[in-house]
Amino acid sequence: MERINLKEKEVFKKEGRGMANIVDEQYLLMNQVCLEPGQNVPEHKANSNVTLQVVAGLGTFSVGMEKVKVGQGNLIRVPLNSSMSIQNESPERLVFLVINPPHPDAVEKDSLEDKNKEWRFVNLIKFPAVKPGKEKEFREWFGRSSELFAKHPGFISRTLLKSTEGTEQYAAVVEHESEETFMAMHLSDERQILFKKVETLIDGMPEPHFYEVLTTRRQ
């Protein structure tokens, strides 16, 4: 038996939300999110049938077209692919759990494809052209950001690629253990801050493409 003290897991930040990983298993990902008054989790889509449980405080939860204020001892169930956002509009701190079971298709895929499927989630990012004179700074940014992203649960690798066609075109391959662990990293405040920095080095916005690994053969 494992006992987890949620109070000890509270992480608050002056800017952006605080988040701590509580459980990270094959069929369950649970994070605790902490918001100071006025902070929020921006709108995004639920990548599974998510359950939100308020541990402390009062939050304003928006799911689709619905908006409701929820306090301690209440659960909110968010259907797959629903748009959702959370705002702490109260004068008190807000703490809530984000409970992610696997995608509804995951268990079935596991039983049918377990021998071949490696359960890796891949994000292939195509970067726009790097601004003149900013190539060295761009590479340094990638190295620093990779060191920080590597600390997130589920991280496997992050690789920078450069075109062999004589252009200053870059791409990156990011591997995570699952879509759930990738999205936890992707929605983190740390990631938002890092990508705002790289926007000053490139002409445009990075273009992400998402894949799951089915089979791999290595020599």
Residue 87: the pLDDT is: 96
Q: Residue 1's CB: how many other CB atoms inside 10 A?
A: 2
Residue 125: which of 183, 189, 184, 170 has the closest Cα?
Answer: 170
Q: What percent of the chain has pLDDT over 70?
A: 90
**55-106, pLDDT tens digit by residue?**
999 999 999 999 999 999 899 999 988 999 999 999 999 999 999 887 666 5
Cβ atoms of residues 72 and 56 within 8 Å? yes
Residue 111: the pLDDT is: 52
pTM confidence score: 0.53
**What are the structural domains of the chain?**
7-100 (2.60.120.10), 113-212 (3.30.70.100)
**189-211, pLDDT tens digit by residue?**
888 888 888 889 999 888 988 88
Alpha-carbon gap, residue 161 to 158, rounded angstroms: 10
Q: How many helices (H) and strands (E) does the chain have?
A: 4, 13
